[in-house]
Each structure stands twice: as structure tokens, then as C-alpha cells.
Amino acid sequence: MTEKTHEKVAKRAEDIAMTTTIISAIVGIGATYAEPSGFYAIGVALGLASEPLIVTAAPIIASVATVTGVISSGAYFYSKWKNKRQLSNTP
């Protein structure tokens, strides 16, 4: 039996969402360790020093992971709905 297009899309979206979630977790852990502390944190707060790139990028990457998760969930439920609809229309 061939796989339906909506099932392929749902599986691909799931793979992408899982990948971005793993990347987001790794970046989050790295940002935790790279977060400025002590006098360096005071310099960042005053604008005298810049924040490490990973600390700046972490919320953006987390947002990307969230968006891909939402898209994956939508594709999953659409595929489930489509399969149920096709089964009910089968004679």
C-alpha cells in the first residue's frame, strides 16, 4: 500500500520538529553556561560589553522549535482527520 501525501508531510514535519527541539535544547544548555555573570554581567547591562551570540540566539532558536512543533502537530492531526474521513467514506 502506498503512503498518502498527507502522511508523508506529517512524518517530515515531525522529523523537522524533533530536530529543532534537540538543537534548541543544546543551545539552551550552552546559553546557560555562557550567560554573563559578575562584573561582565554589569558591563553587559550597561552596554559596555556585548552578550555572547549563543545567549542572544537561544530565544530565537527556541521560537523556531516552537513554531515547527505547532506545524508538526497541525500536520499530524490533519493527517489523522483525513485518514478517518477516508475510512468512513470507503464502501
What is the rounded CA–CA span in Å between residue 25 and residue 32?
Answer: 11
What is the rounded CA–CA span in Å between residue 22 and residue 30?
Answer: 12
Average pLDDT of the chain, as a whole number: 90
Is 91 contained in some domain? Answer: no
60's grid cell: 530565537
Domain that holds residue 79: 5-86
Answer yes or no: is pLDDT of 37 > 60.
Answer: yes
pLDDT in tens, 42-84: 998 898 999 999 999 999 999 999 999 999 999 999 999 988 8
Q: Can you give the pTM of this predicted structure?
A: 0.80
The per-residue pLDDT for 1 is 40
pLDDT band at 25 (very low <50, low <70, confident <90, very high): very high
The per-residue pLDDT for 91 is 63
Number of domains in the chain: 1
